Amino acid sequence: MRPSDEFLSVGDTRVQIRRGGKGPPLVVLHGLGDRGWFRFHDLMARRFSVLAPTHPGFGASDDPPWLEGVDDLVVFYLDLLDGLGLRQVHLVGASLGGWIAAEFAVRHQDRLLSLTLVDAAGLYSPDAEIADIFLMDPATRAKALHGNPEVLAEVTATAPTPEMLQVELRERATIAKLAWDPYFHDPKLGRRLGRLRIPTLILWGRHDRLIPGAVGEAYHRAIPAAELMVIDDAGHAALRDAPDACASALAAFLGRTPPTPRGRRR
């Protein structure tokens, strides 16, 4: 299934969006190592209308001067949903995208039918030290992101072009703005997650070498009635490492999710 590729202007910011499938809207916010459209998206597009935007400051999307923190992206994605005419969506966020999704949920859970966090940044756990990606060379970073040897081989098979290196440098600068201090977490987020009353699934790669599973367990404890599932044969980029397992878990979860959330508290 080939997705459509388009650009949408949200205010003065132009972003790339890939779409595919038909059904209830499912928005996937990418993380580190899984920007793009992969088998996971194809599998979910069999039952959902999947939208995969590229964050401002990443890929072919604009790098706006207003982007200073994750909270800016929360406002941006609220405006994007309004621009697309989407009142409520299923929201999936991986890694950095998971952090954005969690922050979005605590502020705007009335816009969500469900929340899925995949190896999400955003929380600090005293039992888990998040690896410093800024000290890693490309090969080490690829190994930290991917626990599936076949995916790792695919990622590292092609030498980067000058254009790809330029994009990577730009994205690293964006990540530094968003996640350097405090490093990949929001000290206030943990206290706010208890507000959530929407169906929530937490997926975590068993071999995540970037964000330890203790962070996933912290999310599980903080979010009322959340479900936690560990994905075998997956590293940090679980949606790319184990697309079938992730899609199967998410489809089963959404199959148990009522069409309209109940007991929501703003």
Mean pLDDT of 258-263: 53
Q: Flag the least confident range among 100-109, 121-130, 213-222.
A: 121-130
Return the amino acid letter for 140: T
Per-residue pLDDT at 33? 76
Q: How confident is the model at residue 262 (pLDDT cuts 50, 70, 90)?
A: very low
Q: What is residue 111's predicted lDDT score, i.e. its pLDDT?
A: 98
- Confidence band of 162 (pLDDT split at 50, 70, 90): confident
DSSP, residue by residue, 81-102: HHHHT-SSEEEEEETHHHHHHH
Cα angle 125, 215, 236 (rounded to 5 degrees) comes to: 135
Neighbours of 165 (CB within 10 A): 12
pLDDT-based confidence at 265, cuts 50/70/90? very low
Q: Which domains does the chain have, with CATH numbers?
A: 4-255 (3.40.50.1820)
Lowest mean pLDDT among 6-20, 146-160, 227-241: 146-160
SS3 17: strand
pLDDT in tens, 41-90: 999 999 999 999 999 999 999 999 999 999 999 999 999 999 999 999 99
pLDDT of residue 185: 96
pLDDT band at 259 (very low <50, low <70, confident <90, very high): low
Give the mean model confidence (pLDDT) for residues 131-139: 89
Q: Select from 82, 154, 103, 98 the least CA-distant residue to 130.
A: 98
Percent of the chain surpassing pLDDT 70:
96
Strand partners, 26: 50, 90
Report pLDDT digits (tens) over 9-33.
999 999 999 999 999 999 999 998 7
pLDDT band of residue 1 (cuts 50, 70, 90) is: low
Tell me: pLDDT of 147 over 50: yes
Instruction: Calculate what percentage of the chain has a pLDDT beyond 90.
Output: 80
Say yes or no to pLDDT of 167 above 90. no
Mean pLDDT on 107-112: 98
Q: Specify the higher pLDDT residue, 1 or 258.
A: 258
Distance (Å, rounded) from C-alpha 210 to C-alpha 145? 7
Evaluate if residue 127 carries a pLDDT over 50. yes
pLDDT of 261 > 50? The answer is: no
pLDDT at 260: 56
pLDDT confidence tier of residue 257, bands split at 50, 70 and 90:
confident
